[in-house]
Chain A
Amino acid sequence: MTPSQRTGGILAAPAATYMLLFFVVPAILLFSYSFWISSGFRIVPDFVLTNYISAIRSPLFLRVTYNAIVIGLVTASVTLCLSIPVGYYLTYVARSKIIFYLILVTWFSSYLVRIYAWRTLLGTNGLLNAVLLQLGIVDTPVQAFLFSPFAVAITLTHIYLPFAILMVVSAMSEIKAELIEASRDLGTSALGAFFRVVAPNAAQGLIGAFMLTFILVAGDYVTPQMVGGSSGQTTGLLIADQFRKTGNWPLGAAQAFLMFLVSLVIYALVLALGRLTGLIPARRKTKPAREVA
Chain B
Amino acid sequence: MNNGTSAEAPLIELSNGQKQFGLFQALTNINLAINEGEIVTLLGPSGCGKTTLMRIIAGFETLTSGTLKIDGKDVASLPPEKRPVNMVFQRYALFPHLDVFDNVAYGLKVKGVEKEERRRRVQAMLRTVQMESLSHRFIGELSGGQCQRVALARALVNGPRVLLLDEPLAALDLKIRQHMLGEMKRIQLETGATFVYVTHDQDEAMILSDRVVLIDHGQIVQVDRPQDMYFRPRSLFAAKFLGETNLFEGKLTVSGIGQLSLETQDGPFEVVSNDAAVSGNDAAVMSVRPEAMSFRQSNAQLDYAVDAEIADVIFSGSRSFFHLVSLGGQKFRVQVQNMPGAALPVAGDKVHVSWRKDSATVLPLSRISS
Residues of B near A289 (CB, < 8 A) are 133-134, 136-137
Q: Which residue in chain B gives the minimum CB-CB distance to A287?
A: B136
In the complex, whether B194 has a CB less than 8 A from a CB of chain A is no
Interface residue from A185, A186, A187, A201 paired with B97 (Cβ < 8 Å): A201
Q: State which residues 97-137 of B face A: CB under 8 Å.
A: 97-99, 106-107, 110-111, 133-134, 136-137
Given A186-B154, A187-B107, A197 and B136 contact (CB-CB distance below 8 Å)? no
Interface residue from B111, B133, B137 paired with A187 (Cβ < 8 Å): B111
A188 to B80, CA, bound (A): 9
A14 to B359, CA, bound (A): 74
Given A184-B79, A184-B80, A186-B158, A179 and B95 contact (CB-CB distance below 8 Å)? yes
Residues of A near B158 (CB, < 8 A) are 186-187
Given A188-B110, A289-B136, A181 and B93 contact (CB-CB distance below 8 Å)? yes
Give the Cβ gap from B41 to chain A, nearest Cβ, in Å. Answer: 20
Given A201-B96, A201-B97, A281-B98, A186 and B110 contact (CB-CB distance below 8 Å)? yes
Residues of A near B279 (CB, < 8 A) are none
Give the size range of B's interface with the partner: 20 to 34
In the complex, whether B332 has a CB less than 8 A from a CB of chain A is no
Residues of A near B14 (CB, < 8 A) are none
Give the Cβ gap from A192 to chain B, nearest Cβ, in Å. Answer: 7
Interface residue from B79, B86, B94, B136 paired with A285 (Cβ < 8 Å): B136
In the complex, whether A40 has a CB less than 8 A from a CB of chain B is no
A184 to B78, CA, bound (A): 12
Residues of B near A291 (CB, < 8 A) are 133-134
A184 touches B93 (CB 8 A): no
In the complex, whether B141 has a CB less than 8 A from a CB of chain A is yes
A181 to B164, CA, bound (A): 13
Interface residue from A185, A192, A200, A281 paired with B58 (Cβ < 8 Å): A185
Interface residue from A176, A185, A288, A293 paired with B136 (Cβ < 8 Å): A288
Task: Count how many chain A residues have C-beta atoms less than 8 Å from C-beta atoms of the other chain.
Answer: 25
In the complex, whether B91 has a CB less than 8 A from a CB of chain A is yes
A183 to B93, CA, bound (A): 9
In the complex, whether A286 has a CB less than 8 A from a CB of chain B is yes
| 21 CB-based A-B contacts, threshold 8 Å | A178-B91, A181-B80, A181-B89, A184-B79, A184-B81, A185-B80, A185-B81, A186-B106, A186-B110, A187-B107, A187-B111, A187-B158, A188-B81, A188-B110, A192-B81, A196-B106, A201-B96, A284-B138, A285-B136, A288-B137, A291-B134
Give the Cβ gap from A40 to chain B, nearest Cβ, in Å. Answer: 58
In the complex, whether A182 has a CB less than 8 A from a CB of chain B is yes
Q: Which residue in chain A gives the minimum CB-CB distance to B85?
A: A185
A181 to B60, CA, bound (A): 8
A285 to B80, CA, bound (A): 31
Given A284-B99, A285-B99, A185 and B138 contact (CB-CB distance below 8 Å)? no
A184 to B60, CA, bound (A): 9
A-B contacts counted at CB < 8 A amount to 77
In the complex, whether A189 has a CB less than 8 A from a CB of chain B is yes
A176 to B96, CA, bound (A): 11
A59 to B111, CA, bound (A): 54
Q: Which residue in chain B gives the minimum CB-CB distance to A187?
A: B110
A positions within 8 Å CB-CB of B? 176, 178-179, 181-189, 192, 196-197, 200-201, 281, 284-286, 288-289, 291, 293
B97 touches A182 (CB 8 A): no
Residues of B near A286 (CB, < 8 A) are 136
Give the Cβ gap from A52 to chain B, nearest Cβ, in Å. Answer: 40
Q: Which residue in chain B gives the minimum CB-CB distance to A176?
A: B93
Q: Which residue in chain B gives the minimum CB-CB distance to A284?
A: B138
Give the Cβ gap from B42 to chain A, nearest Cβ, in Å. Answer: 17
Residues of B near A189 (CB, < 8 A) are 79, 81
In the complex, whether B87 has a CB less than 8 A from a CB of chain A is yes
A184 to B158, CA, bound (A): 13
Interface centre among B85, B106, B158 (most CB of A within 10 A): B106
B93 touches A281 (CB 8 A): no
Give the Cβ gap from B117 to chain A, nearest Cβ, in Å. Answer: 16
**Known pairs A187-B81, A201-B97, A285-B136 / 14 extra A-B pairs, C-beta < 8 Å:** A178-B89, A179-B95, A181-B80, A181-B87, A182-B94, A182-B154, A184-B81, A185-B86, A189-B79, A197-B97, A284-B138, A288-B136, A289-B133, A293-B143
Residues of B near A293 (CB, < 8 A) are 143
Residues of B near A197 (CB, < 8 A) are 95, 97
Q: State which residues 192-213 of B face A: CB under 8 Å.
A: none
Give the Cβ gap from B155 to chain A, nearest Cβ, in Å. Answer: 8
Residues of A near B143 (CB, < 8 A) are 293
The 6 A-B residue pairs with the shortest CB-CB distance, nearest first, are A186-B107, A178-B93, A281-B97, A182-B93, A187-B110, A184-B80
Q: Which residue in chain B gives the minimum CB-CB distance to A201?
A: B97
A183 to B81, CA, bound (A): 8
Give the Cβ gap from A217 to chain B, nearest Cβ, in Å. Answer: 29
A293 to B143, CA, bound (A): 10
Residues of A near B85 (CB, < 8 A) are 185
B87 touches A182 (CB 8 A): yes
A182 touches B136 (CB 8 A): no
Give the Cβ gap from B88 to chain A, nearest Cβ, in Å. Answer: 9
Interface residue from B91, B97, B138, B154 paired with A200 (Cβ < 8 Å): B97
Give the Cβ gap from B75 to chain A, nearest Cβ, in Å. Answer: 14
Residues of B near A186 (CB, < 8 A) are 81, 86, 106-107, 110, 154-155, 158
A201 to B58, CA, bound (A): 24
Q: Which residue in chain A gives the minimum CB-CB distance to B98?
A: A281
A188 to B107, CA, bound (A): 8
Residues of B near A184 (CB, < 8 A) are 59-60, 79-81
Residues of B near A284 (CB, < 8 A) are 99, 138
B154 touches A179 (CB 8 A): no
Give the Cβ gap from A260 to chain B, nearest Cβ, in Å. Answer: 30
Residues of B near A183 (CB, < 8 A) are 95, 106
A182 to B111, CA, bound (A): 15
Give the Cβ gap from A150 to chain B, nearest Cβ, in Å. Answer: 37
